[in-house]
Amino acid sequence: MKMDDADLLKSLDQHASGGTGAQPATPSLECRLMRHLLHTLGDPPIRLTLWNGESVITGADHARQIAGGLRIANRATLLRLLIHPNLYFGEAYGSGAIEIEGDLVALLEAVYRHRRAPSTPWSRGLNRLLRWLHHGRGTSLSAARDNIHRHYDLGNDFYGLWLDRQMSYTCAYFPSRDTTLEQAQIAKMDLICRKLRLRPGDTVVEAGCGWGALAIHMAQHYGARVRAFNISREQIAYARARAQVLELDGRVQFIEDDFRNIKGRFDAFVSVGMLEHVGPGHYDELGRLIDACLARDGRGLLHSIGQIQPAPFNAWIRKRIFPGAYPPTLREMTGILEPQGFSVLDVENLRLHYALTLEHWLRRFENARWQVQKMYDEPFVRAWRLYLSGSLAAFNTGQLQLFQLLFARGASNNVPWTRAHLYQPLQVKVGP
Q: Rule CB under 8 A: which residues touch a second copy?
A: 113, 117, 173-177, 308-309, 329-331, 334-335, 338-339, 341-349, 351-352, 396-398, 401, 403, 409-413, 415, 417-420, 422-424
Residue 196 beta carbon to a second copy: minimum distance, rounded to whole angstroms: 15
* Cβ nearer to a second copy, comparing 242 with 409: 409
Amino acid at 116: R
Q: Tell me the sheet residues that pair with 98.
A: 72
Residue 348 beta carbon to a second copy: minimum distance, rounded to whole angstroms: 6
Residue 159 beta carbon to a second copy: minimum distance, rounded to whole angstroms: 27
Q: CA–CA separation, 104 vs 420, rounded Å?
A: 40
Q: What is the CA radius of gyration of the chain?
A: 24
How many CA atoms lie less than 13 Å away from 173 in the CB half-sphere?
18
Amino acid at 299: R
* Cβ nearer to a second copy, comparing 201 with 410: 410
**Beta strands 225-230 and 203-207, pairing class:** parallel
First-to-last alpha carbon distance for the chain, in angstroms, is: 41
* Cβ nearer to a second copy, comparing 70 with 191: 191
Q: Tell me the sheet residues that pair with 271.
A: 302
Residue 84 beta carbon to a second copy: minimum distance, rounded to whole angstroms: 25
Residue 423 beta carbon to a second copy: minimum distance, rounded to whole angstroms: 4
Residue 276 beta carbon to a second copy: minimum distance, rounded to whole angstroms: 17
Return phi, psi of residue 252, to 5°: -120, 130
* Cβ nearer to a second copy, comparing 93 with 407: 407
Query: Are 96 and 51 a contacting pair, CB within 8 Å?
Result: no
Q: Tell me the sheet residues that pair with 407.
A: 300, 344
370-391 as b/e: b if 16+ CB within 10 A: eebeeeeeeebbbbbbbbbbbb
* Helical spans, DSSP H, in 180-232: 181-195, 213-222
Return phi, psi of residue 405, to 5°: -110, 130
* Cβ nearer to a second copy, comparing 103 with 348: 348
Amino acid at 91: E
* Cβ nearer to a second copy, comparing 100 with 350: 350
Residue 153 beta carbon to a second copy: minimum distance, rounded to whole angstroms: 33
Return phi, psi of residue 408, to 5°: -150, 170
Return phi, psi of residue 354, to 5°: -70, -35
* Cβ nearer to a second copy, comparing 174 with 222: 174
Residue 4 beta carbon to a second copy: minimum distance, rounded to whole angstroms: 26
* Cβ nearer to a second copy, comparing 352 with 368: 352
Q: CA–CA separation, 7 vs 24, rounded Å?
A: 21
* Cβ nearer to a second copy, comparing 73 with 347: 347
Residue 289 beta carbon to a second copy: minimum distance, rounded to whole angstroms: 18
Residue 427 beta carbon to a second copy: minimum distance, rounded to whole angstroms: 16
* Cβ nearer to a second copy, comparing 391 with 396: 396
Q: CA–CA separation, 371 vs 16, rounded Å?
A: 45
Q: How many residues does the chain have?
A: 432
Q: CA–CA separation, 179 vs 187, rounded Å?
A: 9
